[in-house]
Amino acid sequence: MAVLSYIERDSVSRLFNNGGYVLDFSTDDFNRFTIDSVGFPLCEKYGLSKGKSLMAFIDEAKWFEIAKLVDDLLNYYVVRFGDRGPDNDK
């Protein structure tokens, strides 16, 4: 049973996943980030792109694990991009 509703899942995907890319992370950086956040490297575990690994995690993780990762990604977004967004890095 999915923890997030379709709308919630779609919102997370639209905010963080851009055609398989997650924000400005390389695969190695994303793995390090997710180890720090949830205790294991998502791309290594799922063997998928960053975006697909993120969504696979969201499909099977417990609500508190999802909340932790989403919170950490939001904090990263705010610190890294502020109000510019990842596509406007100037």
Q: Tens of pLDDT along the chain (90 residues)?
A: 568 889 998 999 899 988 889 999 999 999 999 999 999 999 999 999 999 999 999 999 999 999 999 999 999 999 998 877 666 554
Q: What number of residues does the chain have?
A: 90
Q: Residue 84 gets which letter from DSSP?
A: S
Residue 88: predicted pLDDT: 57
Residue 56: predicted pLDDT: 95
As a whole number of angstroms, the distance between CA 70 and CA 58 comes to 9
- Are 27 and 43 spatial neighbours (Cβ–Cβ below 8 Å)? yes
